Chain A
Amino acid sequence: MKVAVDMNKCQDHGQCVFAAPDVFRLDDSGRLAYLSDPGDAFRADVEEAADVCPMQAIRIEA
């Protein structure tokens, strides 16, 4: 599973971090960091993260 965050849209809301803490995190300055190729085991979490992102910045590719 590939995950892409449109960093032009992302505004560091961090909602994705609550939904999928193994894939997304905010660094100390509050900026988003994420795994672009998490295992398929995280699919449900990442779908949830994509739902709750207020900017709808997260795309799941295949």
Chain B
Amino acid sequence: MAARVVVAGASLGGLRAAEQLRAVGWTGPITAVGDEPHMPYNRPPLSKRVLAGTAPFASLALTPRANTADVEWRLGTRVTGARLRDRVVVLDDGEELDFDGLVVATGLRARRLRCPGPSGPGSGRHTVRTLADIRALRAELALPGVRLVVTGAGFIGCEVAATAVGLGVAEVTVVDVEPLPMLRPLGEFLARALLRRHEERGVRFALGTGVAGFEGDGRVTGVVLSDGRVLPADVVVESVGSVANTEWLAGNGLDLSDGVLTDEHLRARRGADGAATAGGGAFRVGSEAGGRAFGVASEAGGGSARGASHEAGAPPYGTTADAGCLPYVVAVGDIARFPNARYDGVPRRVEHWSIPGDTARHAAKVLTAQLCSQPVDFAPFAPLPSFWSDQYDFRLQSFGSPELGHDDVRLLDGEADGDMLVGYHRDGRLVGVVGLGGPAAAAAAARHRSLLLERPALSPQGAAS
């Protein structure tokens, strides 16, 4: 039988990987395994137009390229384990699929708050990651007089709050341990402006406090904050970050401390103690409160990762790295923790919609070269991150890595109450821009994109090279 590639995870990253494998000339069989019952669909509208009811569920379907016509989709099927040395993945029905190349695209799941009180279906506690999540949440928000508490003021939490206001939800309160919403990805200046915009539209905030528990018998009636206050609530959205779906890879000696650590070509790296750290990532993320949706992964994860890769004596990038990685296993999308040669070489997970496409393009080239015994002699992966967020009638549009430039933030154009263009600098150099406002603000951000693309890479110390 011809060599086979198995793609684990059938969402944006899995689909793009299959398309790109075909685009670079991989002709062997491709089997994509996904535990959701749907063909790959688009997540960003979930917290925006789909929750608002202005876009039907059906509009979410991603359109696969024609070149994926012969890809086998095993949907509603979970990968439960892998023996990478034997090149086998195990499915939930017990079947074992052998592969020659493996694409890891199992993404993230919403992190749950672990604290006392009602939980489970019917408790009124929701997450926002899948179509099923939104169906359930929409039904409950439609009830009259609903009081919503959103725990976690990251992008997803703030989008849900904005959408809920638009739906006419009676009371919307957002809780976060940080002093401002979206603080980590955007920094204080924009976070303050966004807080004001949300408050003007009627959202209340409880900031600088965590969640201690939930009141209610079977169903939530209130959220107990760690400062002792109780917020009455009929519906709770938990948007407190995410956990990488790496459990099925445990026991293979990979570094799974926060997603799948890769080399500069997205090949899975060996870890000092892969099996032992497999559950650790989830745990460490779980011990932090504070909503951080599609931002760059937490410093906590990044920091320890840095330690781990240095212990292993691995340079951040620039070598063939075959000794430290599994050349036939690549990771794409939200789950990949990769060094970005454009910046400082520190491996990070990046939860932006553009990343599954970018990683898939590079990883497909790498995997195909490996499987065809050709050299992997192209430049290291160096995407320009970009994300957007829609809240009310305004959009945030970001290019580059604002979180690397929080210490030097400048208003490049506009004013605090209107459209704004904000620049983030490191060592005097522009490393990210964010436009806030209408289409013109997004377009202004886009005009800086080429500038961000052209700049030479930051050296590992962060000094301009």
Residues of A that sit less than 8 Å from B by CB: 9, 11-15, 17-18, 26, 28-31, 47, 50-52, 54-56, 59
6 contacts between A and B (CB under 8 A): A11-B395, A13-B397, A28-B440, A29-B439, A50-B63, A52-B354
In the complex, what distance in Å separates the CA atom of A28 from the CA atom of B388?
20
Chain B residues numbered 343-389 whose CB sits less than 8 Å from any CB in chain A: 353-354, 357, 386, 388
Kindly state the interface size class of chain B when it binds its partner: 20 to 34
Confirm or deny: B308 has a beta carbon within 8 angstroms of a beta carbon on chain A: no
Residues of B within 8 A of A51 (CB): 16, 19, 65, 357
- Among B76-84, B217-225, B255-263, B441-449, the stretch that binds chain A is B441-449
Instruction: Let me know if A26 and B357 touch, CB within 8 A.
Output: no
- Pick from B65, B388, B441, B446: contact of A54, CB under 8 Å: B388
- Ranked nearest first, the 7 interchain pairs of A and B with the lowest CB-CB distance are A30-B439, A30-B443, A30-B440, A12-B439, A14-B446, A26-B443, A54-B353
- B333 CB to nearest chain A CB (Å): 14
Residues of B within 8 A of A55 (CB): 42, 45
In the complex, what distance in Å separates the CA atom of A13 from the CA atom of B386?
11
A12-B442, A30-B438 known; A52-B357 Cβ under 8 A:
yes
Instruction: Let me know if A14 and B16 touch, CB within 8 A.
Output: no
Instruction: Let me know if B63 and A11 touch, CB within 8 A.
Output: no
Instruction: Let me know if B442 and A13 touch, CB within 8 A.
Output: yes
Residues of A within 8 A of B354 (CB): 15, 52
Instruction: Let me know if A54 and B16 touch, CB within 8 A.
Output: no
Chain B residues numbered 49-89 whose CB sits less than 8 Å from any CB in chain A: 55, 59, 61-63, 65
| Known interface pairs A29-B439, A30-B438, A30-B443; 17 further A-B residue pairs with C-beta atoms within 8 A, sorted by A's residue number | A9-B55, A9-B59, A12-B439, A13-B397, A14-B442, A18-B446, A26-B443, A28-B440, A30-B440, A30-B442, A51-B16, A51-B357, A54-B42, A55-B45, A56-B42, A56-B61, A59-B63
Instruction: Let me know if B443 and A14 touch, CB within 8 A.
Output: yes
Residues of B within 8 A of A26 (CB): 439, 443, 446
Chain B residues numbered 437-465 whose CB sits less than 8 Å from any CB in chain A: 438-443, 446, 449
Confirm or deny: B44 has a beta carbon within 8 angstroms of a beta carbon on chain A: yes
- B317 CB to nearest chain A CB (Å): 25
Confirm or deny: B234 has a beta carbon within 8 angstroms of a beta carbon on chain A: no
Residues of B within 8 A of A9 (CB): 55, 59
A50-B63, A56-B42, A56-B62 known; A17-B446 Cβ under 8 A:
yes
In the complex, what distance in Å separates the CA atom of A55 from the CA atom of B19?
18
- A20 CB to nearest chain B CB (Å): 14
Instruction: Let me know if A54 and B63 touch, CB within 8 A.
Output: no
In the complex, what distance in Å separates the CA atom of A12 from the CA atom of B435?
14
In the complex, what distance in Å separates the CA atom of A9 from the CA atom of B58?
12
Residues of A within 8 A of B390 (CB): 11
Residues of B within 8 A of A56 (CB): 42, 61-63
Residues of A within 8 A of B45 (CB): 55
Q: Mark B285-306, 1 if CB is under 8 A from A, else 0.
A: 0000000000000000000000
Residues of A within 8 A of B357 (CB): 51-52
Residues of A within 8 A of B439 (CB): 12, 26, 29-31
Q: Mark B403-447, 1 if CB is under 8 A from A, else 0.
A: 000000000000000000000000000000000001111110010
- B162 CB to nearest chain A CB (Å): 15
- B394 CB to nearest chain A CB (Å): 12
Residues of B within 8 A of A52 (CB): 354, 357
Residues of B within 8 A of A11 (CB): 390, 395
Residues of B within 8 A of A15 (CB): 354, 386
In the complex, what distance in Å separates the CA atom of A52 from the CA atom of B356?
10
Q: Which residue of B lies closest to A13 (CB)?
A: B388
In the complex, what distance in Å separates the CA atom of A11 from the CA atom of B7?
31
Residues of A within 8 A of B442 (CB): 12-14, 30
Q: Which residue of B lies closest to A44 (CB)?
A: B23
- A15 CB to nearest chain B CB (Å): 8
Residues of B within 8 A of A59 (CB): 63
Residues of A within 8 A of B59 (CB): 9
In the complex, what distance in Å separates the CA atom of A9 from the CA atom of B354?
18
Residues of B within 8 A of A30 (CB): 438-443
Q: Which residue of A lies closest to B66 (CB)?
A: A60
Residues of B within 8 A of A18 (CB): 446, 449
